[in-house]
Amino acid sequence: MSMTQLNIEPNFSNADEFYEALIDAHRELTLEQSHQMNAKLVLLLANHIGELDVLKDAMQRAKR
């Protein structure tokens, strides 16, 4: 798959472990802190991806 195309196929080596880690990261945060963490996580991952077209595609798909 091209790096300029959004991968929407399952790509986790351990999806359950990721979900657990995500939930654990939010534990004991206020709602506002949780929203801030999500926003920061999105920006960090968007920076990692770095391709505007891929990010726009992801945003459109997430919005649907």
Cα 28 from chain centroid (whole Å): 20
Q: End-to-end CA distance of the chain, in Å?
A: 23
Is residue 45 classed as helix, strand or coil in its secondary structure?
helix
pLDDT digits (tens, 9 = 90+) for 16-53: 999 999 999 999 999 999 999 999 999 999 999 999 99
Burial letters for 6-34: b for 16+ Cβ neighbours within 10 Å, e otherwise?
beeeeeeeeeeeeeeeeeeeeeeeeeeee
Q: Name the pTM for this structure.
A: 0.84
Q: How confident is the model at residue 15 (pLDDT cuts 50, 70, 90)?
A: very high
